[in-house]
Every structure is written in structure tokens, then in C-alpha cells.
Homo-oligomer: A and B are copies of this chain.
């Protein structure tokens, strides 16, 4: 009797994990399949295996292809550090740095996508299996997937483009887990089609073009307790055609074109999250998103404070809505929404920014949302802003100097009907046709 289903990538006899961990893991998967061939020996037969990745640098030049259930790939360190800060530091300062790259149990994705390749061709981990049952209970835990460089034509390391994906799950699957992972400098972190009972929990997914993309369709899953922040041109959390998705307890920081973007998602929840963004469109519900619950979240939007990124945004203007809602019977209740921006940076110039915008659909219910809009004193921008961390210090220095900013707290377009808007803004702050929507103004304090 031995631990026949426990593998250490550094102890495997085929390939060299440091040179190509992809070859090693694929070889291990072959070994598992060679050994586990029968489907019903004494009510068992194919328990899968665990593959351990100790801390270390592991280049990946061969894509890992997973087509067996019950495979757990686990490391001992999510290994995040900010590559973005480093790439925006003059290179002549690097010699003094303690370390330059992410670490932990770290996979360096050396795949090179070519024009015309399928999107998944440069995924470090590619999961695909046809037939029955759906592939189940594959787990990724506690290691780092590093895409190394972005390579866009202009300002490459800030482009969030390199064609690389961390984990690409192409087949319908059940009960997968992604936990404790770090992902950095990938164009796509996790792309997952047709998820059922998926758990994405307690990960650190940042400085990726996109972090989490749930595509195709899906149900009964959770994205919980993660630290997440995508690039200015990508999704932090995206889901389409999903039912019963629970997005809770996440701290989603900038940039991210959006914090959460739902398309055709129904009966799902976005609760108790903290969202921070530099652009409008923090939350987008489009393509008939219906019966969703948005509650107890904190939304905060300010202007990009960091020099190297100030030239970028997500292309949306301040009339788009910080929260853009298209669909029926959604609930937006008991959220705090803060926006602070100087008048000169509002787009289009002179516009009154829109905070919650009901674009189309009917029967949405907004209640008890507290919206705080302010403008910074002009000289606040003079404070040095060298890193993400300074965002906070700057905010603390300036919060006392904030002046009220006039915004439209809720705007109900004429294509959106029969909504109920309660205690989410005063008469002057809400634009709504009261003949086809119910409205109760927030009582206004005397001044």
C-alpha cells in the first residue's frame, strides 16, 4: 500500500517541472488514467489524484489538458506581488529591489498564442471532456499562475493583452473548486463555460486583463471572499445566462472596466461586497437580467489617481450610470454608493453624472440606497500618487475637503416601466416618470 494517488511535480520521473511543468502534469494525468481504468470495482474505481506543486518557479511551455474528474492541483503559496507597480518603476531602480517577480508555487506561462489560434490555445490549464457524466470536482488551490508580460502594441506592459489564460474550462462541469489561487498578468484569469455548483473562493486575482468569466450558461455557483481587480479594459467578474449565482464577500478593487457585469443572468445575488472603481459602469446588468438581488454592497467610484494609468479608462461617460440596469424585477436595496470626482473630469463636460440608471425592463425595485456624491478640492490632486497604496493615503488626506457634487441619483429611462423607487434620492435627484413608476423621495434634512 502506498500513496499512489499523491504526486509531487518535482519528484516525477518524466520531464522537468521547473523547465516545463505542463509536460510533467500531463504525464502524471496519463499515469492516473493508465492506473485508474475501471469504472466500478467494488463501488469505486477512479478516485483521481492530487498533484502537489511546492514553492518554486515552474515554466509552462506545454498546455496542461485535464479530462479526468477528482484531480486536485495544489501548491503552497498564491505568490502575488504587483507586477504593474514594478513595470511602471524605472528599470534602473530594479537593481535595488528585493525581488522582481511573483513567487510561491508559481507557474510561468510561456505559451505564445499566434494569430488565428483558438482562444484557449494559450491557456495554462485547459479542461475539456465530452460524454457523461460531466467532469466533476477538479480543484485548483494555493498556487500562482503568472502570465509574465503584457504585449500590446502600445505601452505594452500596461496593455493587459497577451492572449494568455490561467484556467480555461471548456466543457460543462460540476462541483469544481478554485481556492487560494493567485493569478497575475494574464489576459484572462479563469474562463469557465457551463458551470454547475462551482466555487471560486478566497483567491487573489489581480492585474489580469479579465479575472473571472463565466460563459455559456450556468447555475447554483458562488464567487465568494475573493480579492479581485482586472485591467481597465476587462471584466473583474463576468457571468452570462446564469441562474442562482451568489457573488458575496468579495473585495473588488480597480481597475476593471466593471466590477460585476451580468448578461442574461437571472435570480442571482450580489450582496455584501466592496467594490471600488475608477469609471462609470461599475455594475452592468444587460440582456434582460431579471429577478436579481443587489444588496448591502459598498460601491465607490473616484478618478484614476495613478499617473501611469490616467490615460486609460473604459470608454464610458458619466451619463452611462455607475449602476446600469437592464431587465425585470431586480432588487437594488440597501446599498451605499460613493462617488467623488472633480467637475473638470466629468464626461461629457458639464454633465450631471448618473448613479443608478434603469435602462429597460420593468418591475425593478430600488429602495434604501444611500448615495454620496462629492467633488474634491482642486489642490487635492497635487498630492504625489506613486502607487495604488497612495490612493488610500490621498483619500484620507482629502476626505475633509470634499464638497457636495450634484448628481442624478436615479434615472429611469422611458424604456423601463413599472419600477418602484423608494428612499434612494430626493425629488430633485431622481428622474422618473411618476405616472408609470412608483416613487417615494428620501426625506431631506434641513440645512
Contact = CB atoms under 8 A, between A and B. Distances in A.
Interface in A242-284: 242-246, 248-251, 253, 264, 266-269, 271-274, 276
A196 interface: yes
B293 A69 contact: no
Given A97-B133, A175-B80, A338-B291, A104 B72 contact: yes
Contacts of A370: 329, 331, 333, 365, 367
Interface in A206-244: 206, 217-222, 224-225, 227, 241-244
A177 B78 contact: yes
Interface in A86-136: 86, 89, 93-94, 96-106, 108, 129, 131-136
A137 interface: yes
B175 A204 contact: yes
A393 B264 CA distance: 11
Contacts of A134: 389
A290 B399 contact: yes
A131 B97 contact: yes
Interface string A321-341: 000000011010111101000
Interface residues on A, range: 35 or more
Given A39-B98, A244-B253, A139 B77 contact: yes
A256 to B, nearest CB: 13
A442 interface: yes
A148 B54 CA distance: 33
A60 B55 CA distance: 25
Contact of A137 (B103, B243, B336): B103
A86 B136 CA distance: 13
Contacts of A10: 1-3
Contacts of A331: 336, 370
A136 B81 contact: yes
The 3 closest A-B pairs by CB, nearest first: A44-B57, A70-B103, A219-B392
